[in-house]
Copies of this chain bind each other. A is one copy, B any other.
Amino acid sequence: MYKLLKTEGRAKRGEFHTPHGIIQTPVFMNVATVAAIKGALSTKDLKDVKCQVALSNTYHLHLRPGDKVIKKLGGLHKFMVWDRPILTDSGGFQVFSLTSLRKIKEEGVYFSSHIDGRKIFMGPEESMQIQSNIGSTIAMAFDECPPYPAERGYMEDSVARTTRWLKRCKAELNRLNQLEDTVNPNQMLFGINQGGTYEDIRIEHAKIISEMDLDGYAVGGLAVGETHAEMYRILEEVVPYLPQNKPTYLMGVGTPENILEAVDRGIDFFDCVLPARNGRHGHVYTNRGKLNLFNAKYELDERPIEEGCGCPTCTTYSRAYIRHLLKAKEMLGMRLCVLHNLYFFNTMMEEIREALDQGNYAVYKKQKLDGFKQKEEE
């Protein structure tokens, strides 16, 4: 159940009630691809960096350790020892981006595993069954994430099929939730809006899926190659056709700037691999832009990554120490950077919520974006 607490323009401040606790929105979900955050973060670490929701990947977990193994072990929450909400993607995006020899048919997608090449079929029912075995809090509908750019005709056919698949997803998850041995009988379902950069296709699709009374709605197929301006334009066109009294999730986005702009356009769920991936490469976020800790100028820098930051890294270690660890290829260096970056994102979301609570979002957003431009490092 989504409770809209406050709005400012199109920006929404909400609470999403789930069987695993309340999610305060806007929220940034932290990506735990194979039931762990890359960078040696434990679920204890995740709490230390204020993570509200973990996001795991259905395709990866299906292949390893296998969703049936996870079900036997009591579901993903118990397996990875995480008692807060988990969202699983549908596996669709990975099927379309990682696999080879794909064939898309009405029933679903035939493809080869990226691990061992074995042939796999996944359709809407299979995706729901896998996500049901995993027992996540929120399941995502199985859709096609069309390539960018895509021809209009291809896009129309793809979106129509995604709509038919969504109906099958809803029916299948309803069925699964009622089975006696289901892991999470209250598993929720989010639908996904597609249509590429064709706003009329997107709007038409948004209208149709909005009538299906799902638990939340995602905007998918963005951040796949189009410009930021195009992405913002699509959000401006489409979000008004999605229910305001449901969570709105912009999949796979993005930079701090993207998030600030998308909140202004009515988005309240985000996820992205950027903070963890950048952290593993020594790129860390600050309120004055990103720093590359491999830079020689940090050799003797005794300051934390960011003065005043309350993260486990900044309250303890210096830039000089972290740089040394990164240069020496010590895993701890990556871990400290990932901890900082996730804390940075989660803290920014906290600030966004506070600004919305105070009716102060426009001012906050401008100050934050101005700060990013006053780069410490050029």
| B-side contacts of A34, CB under 8 Å | 324-325, 328, 330
A324→B65 contact, CB < 8 A: yes
Residue of B at shortest CB range from A317? Answer: B81
Q: Cα distance A336–B331 when bound, in Å?
A: 13
Whether A300 sits at the interface, judged by CB under 8 Å, is yes
Q: Do A36 and B299 form a contact, CB below 8 Å, given A42-B335, A321-B81? A: no
Whether A334 sits at the interface, judged by CB under 8 Å, is yes
| B-side contacts of A212, CB under 8 Å | none
CB distance from A157 to the nearest CB of B (A): 36
| B-side contacts of A40, CB under 8 Å | 39-40, 330-332, 334-335
A331→B334 contact, CB < 8 A: yes
B336→A73 contact, CB < 8 A: no
Interface residues on A, range: 35 or more
| B-side contacts of A60, CB under 8 Å | 328
Whether A119 sits at the interface, judged by CB under 8 Å, is no
Whether A267 sits at the interface, judged by CB under 8 Å, is no
Q: Do A299 and B332 form a contact, CB below 8 Å, given A35-B321, A321-B79? A: no
Residues 315 to 347 of chain A near chain B (Cβ within 8 Å): 316-318, 320-321, 323-325, 327-328, 330-336
Q: Do A69 and B300 form a contact, CB below 8 Å, given A42-B335, A316-B81? A: yes
Q: Cα distance A335–B43 when bound, in Å?
A: 13
B36→A332 contact, CB < 8 A: yes
User: Which A residues contact B (CB, under 8 angstroms)?
Assistant: 34-44, 60, 64-65, 69, 72-74, 79-81, 299-300, 302, 312, 316-318, 320-321, 323-325, 327-328, 330-336
Beyond contacts A40-B40, A74-B302: 15 other A-B pairs, Cβ-Cβ < 8 A, are A34-B325, A34-B330, A36-B325, A36-B328, A36-B332, A37-B332, A42-B316, A42-B336, A64-B324, A64-B327, A65-B323, A65-B324, A80-B321, A81-B317, A331-B335
